[in-house]
A and B are shown apart, each in its own frame.
Chain A
Amino acid sequence: MTGWDLFTIICSIFLGSSGVILLYVFLRDAYRDRMANKKNVKQ
Chain B
Amino acid sequence: MSHYVPNIDYLIIFLYLVMLVSIGIYSYKKDTSYEDFILAGRGMTTPMLISTMVSTYYGLDILFGSSEMAFNDGLMAFFGYALSTLVFYLFIAYYMADKLRSANFISLPEILEKAYGRKTSSIGAISSMVYCLPTTSLFALGRVSEFVFGVDAHYGAFILGGIALAYTLLGGLKAVAITDTIQFSLMCITVAVGVPLLVYEIGGFVAIQELVPTGHFKLFGTVPPWLLIAYASSSLAVLIDPSLYQRIFAARSARQARNAILTSTVIWTTFDWLVVAGGIAALAAVTSGILSSNVHPNDAFLIAVTYALPIGLSGIFLAGVIATAMSTIDGYTLVAGSNISYDMYRPLVNPEATDAQLVKATKIGIVIAWTLGYIIAFQFDRIMALLIFVTTVITSTVFVPVLMALFYRGKKTSLAGLLSCGAGLASVLIFYVGMSQIGDYNQTWGTYIFSFSIGGNTFSIWQEYALFFCLPISLLGFFVGNIFGSKIEEASLEGEAL
Contact = CB atoms under 8 A, between A and B. Distances in A.
Nearest to B199: A8
A14 B189 CA distance: 10
Given A16-B189, A22-B51, A29-B47, A9 B277 contact: no
6 contacts: A2-B204, A2-B209, A8-B199, A11-B274, A12-B195, A23-B182
B277 A19 contact: no
A41 interface: no
A9 B47 contact: no
Contacts of A13: 192
B193 A16 contact: yes
Nearest to B278: A8
A2 B182 contact: no
Interface residues of B, number: 33
Interface in B150-200: 178, 181-182, 184-189, 191-193, 195-196, 199
A22 B192 contact: no
Interface string A2-43: 101101110111111011101101100110000000000000
B185 A20 contact: yes
Q: Chain B binding site: helix, strand, loop or mixed by DSSP? A: helix
A8 B195 contact: yes
B50 interface: yes
- Among A7, A14, A22, the one with the most B-chain Cβ atoms within 10 Å of its Cβ is A22
A25 B471 CA distance: 42
Interface in B33-67: 45-48, 50-51
Contacts of B187: 19
A16 B316 CA distance: 14
Contact of B185 (A1, A5, A22): A22
A11 B189 contact: no
Contacts of A22: 47, 50-51, 181, 184-185, 188
Given A5-B205, A26-B51, A16 B188 contact: yes
Contacts of A23: 181-182, 185
A10 to B, nearest CB: 8
B284 to A, nearest CB: 12
Contact of B188 (A2, A5, A18): A18
Nearest to B217: A4
A3 to B, nearest CB: 8
B273 interface: yes
Interchain residue pairs A-B with the least CB separation, the first 8: A19-B188, A16-B192, A23-B185, A11-B270, A4-B205, A19-B185, A12-B192, A15-B192
B134 to A, nearest CB: 24
B307 to A, nearest CB: 17
Nearest to B268: A15
Contacts of B48: 26, 29
Nearest to B263: A18
B28 interface: no
A19 B205 contact: no
Given A11-B270, A19-B192, A25-B45, 14 more contacts: A2-B204, A7-B273, A8-B199, A8-B274, A9-B196, A12-B274, A15-B274, A18-B270, A19-B185, A19-B187, A19-B189, A20-B185, A23-B181, A29-B47
Nearest to B269: A11
Scoring B48, B186, B188, B273 by chain A CB atoms within 10 A of each residue's CB, the highest score goes to B188
Q: Which of A7, A18, A23 has the most CB of B within 10 A?
A: A18
A29 B271 contact: no
Given A22-B185, A23-B182, A15 B191 contact: yes
A23 B55 CA distance: 13
Contacts of A30: 178
A38 to B, nearest CB: 15
B30 to A, nearest CB: 17
Contact of B196 (A12, A14, A25, A26): A12
Contact of A12 (B178, B184, B193, B209): B193
Given A12-B196, A15-B271, A22-B184, A2 B205 contact: yes
Contact of A19 (B178, B184, B204): B184
A4 B280 CA distance: 12
Contact of A15 (B46, B51, B186, B267): B267
A22 B307 CA distance: 27
A22 to B, nearest CB: 5
B206 interface: yes
A30 B209 CA distance: 46
Contacts of A20: 185, 189
